[in-house]
Amino acid sequence: MASNYQIFAKVGLADIVRPVRNQSQSGWQSAFNRIAGKHVDFVLCDASRLNVVAVIELDDKTHKRFDREVRDTLVDSVLADAGIPTLRISARQSYSPIWIQEHVQNLSRAS
């Protein structure tokens, strides 16, 4: 699996998705402004073409705050509209590579 993907950390949401251009300029700018300051934890890309395969978000206890829930809902919606699967993982001290591999493979099968 490792050779199939490149992983990039702390990627700007606006670097992987763009608002639809058929809106008015002010509508497009408003949509862009909503995503411009947002980042995702990890972007998983196909190693050969660097196409985005999935986004991985680590959720710690701050994600239970109202403002973070609003942010997460926006990010999830934008990614879903772009057809990019999102894997949300509870933040912890360590992770099982096999567990992560299985969940990424499940994302690939689902999309």
Q: Helix or strand or coil: residue 33?
A: helix
The pLDDT value recorded for residue 108 is: 66
Is the model's pLDDT at 23 over the cut of 80?
no
Better-predicted residue by pLDDT, 91 or 23 = 91
Report H helices in the chain: 13-16, 25-36, 66-81, 97-110
Q: Are 58 and 100 in contact (CB under 8 A)?
A: no
The pLDDT value recorded for residue 109 is: 67
Better-predicted residue by pLDDT, 58 or 106 = 58
Kindly state the percentage of the chain with pLDDT values over 70: 92
| Block residue for tokens 């934890």 | 41
| Arithmetic mean of pLDDT over the chain | 87
Is the model's pLDDT at 2 over the cut of 60?
no
Angle at the Cα of 77 (from 46 to 104), degrees rounded to 5? 35
Q: Which two tokens stand for residue 9?
A: 């950390």
